[in-house]
Structure 1
Amino acid sequence: MRRFADLYDALDATTSTNAKVEAMVRYFREAPPQDAAWALYFLTGRRLKRLLTAKVLVPWTQELTGIPDWLFAEVYASVGDLAEVIALLLDQYERPARPEEMPLSWWLEERLLPLKDLDVAEQREQVLSWWKVLPRRELFLLNKMLTGELRVGVSDTLVVRAIAQVAELPPATISHRLMGTWAPSRAFFEQLLSPEVSDSDVSRPYPFYLASPLEQPVETLGAPKDWLIEWKWDGIRGQLIRRQGNVYLWSRGEELITERFPEISEAAEALPDGTVLDGEVLAYENGRPLPFSRLQRRIGRQKLTAKVLAEAPASFIAYDLLEERGEDLRHLPLRERRWRLEALLRDKPRFTVSPAVETDSWGALAELRHESRERNVEGFMIKRLESTYQHGRKRGDWWKWKIDPFTVDAVLLYAQPGHGRRSSLYTDYTFAVWNGQELLPVAKAYSGLTDQEIAQLDRWIRDHTREKFGPVRSVAPEQVFELHFEGIAASPRHKSGIALRFPRIARWRLDKKPQDADSLANLKELLHAQH
């Protein structure tokens, strides 16, 4: 646990990517394989299910510290993170001699995970015994694990780089081995580092190749004939795998969604064994995509009734062939992969090859791009015909030329602390628009501001707080922000009746007053115009 706490601190203390990689390389070279597997589990964004709730952790903390309710609430409102609050409060009390150092895997497998099988009294006895002896850093991490909220500020790309250095293997190999579902174990970690390994997991997808945003003039790409141009579909990016008689559908977020789309899974049984398609799951009807909001109706349902399936019929739009009859095709140029894909899916129901958009000039393509929203797409994908299928976001060969986002000017109403190194700053914001004389919340956003702007806004929030609700602060409705978002949908779950898709902060409008913000009526007009 101490070694993992050192790694966590090292990653949290720097913004240098090289320093982060160096810290992880040191850790993975020194840690026992079982510990390294668990560290990798957390570093790649995986989390334990919550073992204990605030409902029991707060009274236990008060029992040890004697702190009254009102003071605990004040400390929590100031710090904003329950695990950190508990660690800070308990750190004020004298500790016995440092306990024997136990491996991270021992803490997880022998102590934390078995908690779920104990009654509350037994859980209390165990947790309080740990709190009384662990130093603050380990205690903080332990609390994060207990609450299922442990996040580490490092990207998957850097984790892959570190493991690749330790294993002396190509990053692409490591990235592939980390895809899909895996359990943190000594055997898994040793297999991950092995120079020669037989991968027995037939469900494992390939790492996704991600396009970069096109920020330069499209004409700088050269002749259109050298590129495959497709519509950018507004669905769920996924890989469809047919291996050893089974079908697996993975989302880009590495979630297995096979059971959510039974009609696609059934149709995939007609594909040859050893097939892997890269493409998009869409709500699709009469030869054209339906709005993403239709697909969301299926995603949020626990039970897929006949009515739900009829409202959002799904299809798989394929735009790449990664494996054919068990052969990895990623090293082939897109031109050839595309030719093989068209031959494979000819006359296959529920499957459509993403059509190429033919154009003689970039100017003509720019004109066609204006039709994106009425086609329920997000713009264009532009892929070099000679490109291989890489992993991660490699600039140069794949570009996404998206339509301009929707915009709204909204007023900041609430703020709460962020996570990780930003847990002491107010970085998560709730924004509102006018509904008559009332400001009504319509969106939450936490990205788009510079570090300097975050620090400036944090000071303003603390000076202009009206009320506190736990970690959330209500602020004076004075600051206006321009938000960008990708879509809008009706939502009975929200008081405003609408939900914005992918809202983010575009800029802080210091030039505008609160009365200049947009109205709910404006957003509802936009909603009706879309439908």
Structure 2
Amino acid sequence: MERKFMIQQAKDNSFLAFSQTCEMVKSTTSKNMKIKIVSEYLRKLDDGNLKVACDLFSGQIFPPWEGIELQVGYSTILDILKEVSGLNEKTLVEIIIKNGDLGDAAEEILAKKTIRPLLEEEYDLVQVYARLKKVAEASGKGSVNEKKKILTGLYLNMTPLETKYLTKILTGEMRIGLVSGLIIESIAEAFNRRFEEVNESFLLINNVGETAILAKYGKLSEAKLVLLRPTNFMLAESMQSAEEIVDYFRKELICEFKLDGVRVQCHKKVDTIKIFSRKGNEVSTQFPEIVEDLLQIGHDFIFDGEVLAFKNGKPLPFSKLQTRLQRKYVDEKVVNEVPLMLFVYDILFFDGEPLYKMPLIERKKIIEKIGFTGRIKCLEYFLVSKREEIERKFFESLELGYEGLMLKDPSAPYTVGKRGKYWIKLKKELDTLDAVIVAA
């Protein structure tokens, strides 16, 4: 029998309504029911609370590229729970062990709280977000107490159910069975948009809350690349042999050596450079010499490429790059010990113009005209169409210290955030030999 859910005694934009919605989503295993619950909830929210709700559903308070972190540990949360509940530490620990989840434990612990604020407040999502941002911004001497003071105020005013989901948000452990795809489907259902249309916009702007606002007002087509903010990377599929690749495409392909480094997205706007990782985190400080050389390029751009440890014209083992990535601070000594090279192999944006819909071969021509210097190179590519050509290039790549080949459709657009057969990986499996064991 289908279970009916009702959000009671909670204003639409309130954190309580959000918490009740999370609880309902968690209580059903039905994908369609999850979408129904979330879409009906999203439809009732105003713009500000809609954006925050979608971001929190995705388990992300702040976008990774902003570099904002709460820096609130378990011990801080435990101290707050102890203070607000009035329970002793032994009882707290027993409840936490019994529940196995700090959020679930918080709900049980604060069902017994004895301390109440003089004037109780009810928070909407925007207000909770604003307080969490203040927590993240608190730094320096006295910051721990400042963070604790702000969070204690929230815990004191919230119902036990709200504290459960506040705790889950703080610990990054929502675990309500609402994956990214279901949130996108819920947004599409809430505002009567096609899933494909909503998903395309989300993959491009890389923010589910902003995508929801565009969907609400029928402006998904206005989603666009934004300089200094990462978009999703195009992804490749694997094939096992040159023959399989030739049979699938049956046309001339772009062939590149497959690099064994760190894939990055490089943005330049006027005199500002930002380098982002696959996860959307800014990693510019790890590559100061690359930033320095990117600044010499007299254009605004978004590049897709790979950073390698590189010396004397050859790539160094990935382990060398790893030793550098593990360093908290990169000084001149580190730069000299592990020299780097950025190989650019795609371009998404150039001097005000988005290029990701343009055929790859045309994007390559734009890259070739830029004229890189220093520690930045345009990744060399070859045109191949026969099995023998691909196999020859494959073994050449291994001899030079690379890990195989990338074969790319020259007519393909840059499909942001999608894995598909426009790009194919051919890795070291081809290097194995078939052998027959004969007993004599």
Q: State the TM-score, normalizing by the size of structure 1.
A: 0.61
1:55 aligned residue (75, 98, 105): 75
CA positional deviation for 1:308: 0.3
Change (3 A) 1:303 1:102: closer
Moved more, 14-23 or 278-287: 14-23
**CA deviation vs aligned residue, 1:257-293 (integer Å, no higher than 9, x gap):** 2232222222223334232221112222222222222
Listed as ranges, the matches of 1:435-450 within 5 Å are: none
Amino acid at match of 1:29: R
Amino acid at match of 2:125: L
1:178 aligned residue (196, 199, 206): 206
Kindly indicate whether the alpha-carbon contact (under 8 Å) linking 2:38 and 2:186 is maintained by their aligned counterparts in 1: yes
- Looking at structure 1, the residues matched to 257 and 412 of structure 2 have their Cα atoms a distance apart, in angstroms, of 18
Per the alignment, residue 409 of structure 1 pairs with none
Amino acid at match of 1:226: E
1:276 aligned residue (302, 319, 324): 302
Listed as ranges, the matches of 1:69-218 within 5 Å are: 69=90, 72-73=92-93, 75-91=95-111, 102-110=123-131, 113=134, 122=149, 126=153, 129-130=156-157, 134-136=159-161, 138-147=162-171, 149-150=173-174, 153-160=177-184, 162-163=186-187, 166=191, 168=193, 171-178=199-206, 190=213, 195=219, 202-214=227-239
Change (3 A) 1:125 1:135: closer
Any idea what SS the aligned residue of 1:396 has? Answer: strand
Per the alignment, residue 259 of structure 2 pairs with 233
Change (3 A) 1:53 1:248: closer
Change (3 A) 1:310 1:334: same
Kindly indicate whether the alpha-carbon contact (under 8 Å) linking 2:234 and 2:417 is maintained by their aligned counterparts in 1: yes
**CA deviation vs aligned residue, 1:429-455 (integer Å, no higher than 9, x gap):** xxxxxxxxxxxxxxxxxxxxxxxxxxx
Amino acid at match of 1:37: K
Kindly indicate whether the alpha-carbon contact (under 8 Å) linking 2:202 and 2:211 is maintained by their aligned counterparts in 1: no
Percentage of pairs with the same residue: 25
2:45 aligned residue (13, 26, 31): 31
1:299 aligned residue (304, 325, 328): 325
Query: Which has the larger share of helix?
Result: 2
Unmatched tracts of structure 1, length 5 or more = 405-531
CA positional deviation for 1:134: 0.7
CA positional deviation for 1:378: 4.0
- Looking at structure 1, the residues matched to 227 and 266 of structure 2 have their Cα atoms a distance apart, in angstroms, of 12
Kindly indicate whether the alpha-carbon contact (under 8 Å) linking 2:86 and 2:115 is maintained by their aligned counterparts in 1: no
Amino acid at match of 1:140: K
Higher RCO (Cα < 8 Å, 6 or more apart): 2
Per the alignment, residue 354 of structure 1 pairs with 379
CA positional deviation for 1:39: 2.0
How many positions carry a matched residue from both structures? 393
Per the alignment, residue 405 of structure 2 pairs with 380
Any idea what SS the aligned residue of 2:17 has? Answer: helix
Per the alignment, residue 3 of structure 2 pairs with none
Unmatched tracts of structure 2, length 5 or more = 1-14, 63-68, 430-440
Change (3 A) 1:12 1:212: farther
- Looking at structure 1, the residues matched to 423 and 35 of structure 2 have their Cα atoms a distance apart, in angstroms, of 26
Change (3 A) 1:275 1:123: closer
Any idea what SS the aligned residue of 2:274 has? Answer: strand
Kindly indicate whether the alpha-carbon contact (under 8 Å) linking 2:110 and 2:160 is maintained by their aligned counterparts in 1: no
**CA deviation vs aligned residue, 1:360-407 (integer Å, no higher than 9, x gap):** 644674586577677554433222222111122242322333445xxx
**CA deviation vs aligned residue, 1:107-138 (integer Å, no higher than 9, x gap):** 332588469565588568636623xx6133x2
- Looking at structure 1, the residues matched to 329 and 184 of structure 2 have their Cα atoms a distance apart, in angstroms, of 37
Q: State the TM-score, normalizing by the size of structure 2.
A: 0.72
Listed as ranges, the matches of 1:353-502 within 5 Å are: 353-356=378-381, 361-362=386-387, 365=390, 369=394, 375-403=400-428
